[in-house]
Amino acid sequence: MAYIYLADVWCDACGRAICRRLRRKGKAPANPDDEWTFDSDEYPKRAGDEEEADTPQHCAAGEHCILRLR
């Protein structure tokens, strides 16, 4: 699964990290599962399943992508 946040696409690992960071800062919506109650500029929204690719795919984090660093 990917996430949409601040007009970019983030991989699952980076999207979850952003969610954790926003929750720690008290910036998470009251009900993050109800994506109709907030904008993707405020908190990441799920963007469906990722399909397998033939080449490495990294998210908006670029070289700092959590999956790339593994």
Distance CA(56)–CA(40), nearest Å, equals 25
Confidence (pTM)? 0.82
Q: What is the pLDDT of residue 53?
A: 61
30: its two tokens: 């009251």
Q: What is the pLDDT of residue 36?
A: 95
55/30: higher pLDDT: 30
End-to-end CA distance of the chain: 18
Q: What is the pLDDT of residue 52?
A: 63
